[in-house]
Amino acid sequence: SWFGKKPNVYYGKYQGKLSVIIINYSSIVIYRLITRYLNWTGQKTYTIKLKKLDLSNKEFNLGFLRGLFDTDGCFYKPKRVLSFSTVSIFLADQVTKLLDSFKVDHTIHKIKKLKRKMLYTINIYGKNAEKLSDRIKPRNVNKVVSEWPGWDSNPRLPLFPINTRSPNSGPD
């Protein structure tokens, strides 16, 4: 639970496979905390961004990056790749600026699938990934993976963040 509240959990399948888990909290306290730092217009997923990008607030920025990588990122150990994906061009731009402010080399890939929004994947490789990981100290150990399940033709380009739990563990 978060803030003493238990969430409603919903599972969604696409083509017979678990494709999404929605964790829904109904709390004005949590909403106010989120909207204190984040802003969006219309559909949140596509427009979410920090209200104010303050590159001088290093402690906040490291914590923000940790939160992003803990939720929508992963660390692929064998290739030493730290990866984060979003469909918000605004958030992708802000993450790029944050990484630049910490002098972290990175790449950004735009991935467009049929009938889907553009996906922006930011990758940090090798020693840069290890250095940033040491600095942000990710808390979600499930985001450290040793293999990429479901990759098809190009194992060098991650298409989506990976969760190491079994993709078929949710209800029907």
Return the pLDDT at 2: 67
Return the pLDDT at 63: 93
Cβ-based burial of 121 (10 A; exposed 0-12, middle 13-18, buried ≥19): buried
**CA atoms of 67 and 138, how far apart (whole Å):** 8
**CA atoms of 1 and 23, how far apart (whole Å):** 11
Q: Helices (H) and strands (E) in the chain — how many of each?
A: 5, 9
Q: pTM here?
A: 0.72
- Using one digit for the tens of pLDDT, what is the confidence trace for 87-142? 999 999 999 999 999 999 999 999 998 888 999 999 999 999 888 988 888 777 66
pLDDT confidence band for 149 (50 / 70 / 90): very low
Structure tokens at 119: 């996906």
- Using one digit for the tens of pLDDT, what is the confidence trace for 69-92? 888 888 887 888 899 999 999 999
**CA atoms of 54 and 157, how far apart (whole Å):** 30
More confident residue, 93 or 28: 93
**CA atoms of 98 and 100, how far apart (whole Å):** 5
pLDDT confidence band for 4 (50 / 70 / 90): confident
Parallel/antiparallel/unpaired status of strands 73-76 and 144-145: parallel
**CA atoms of 74 and 84, how far apart (whole Å):** 7
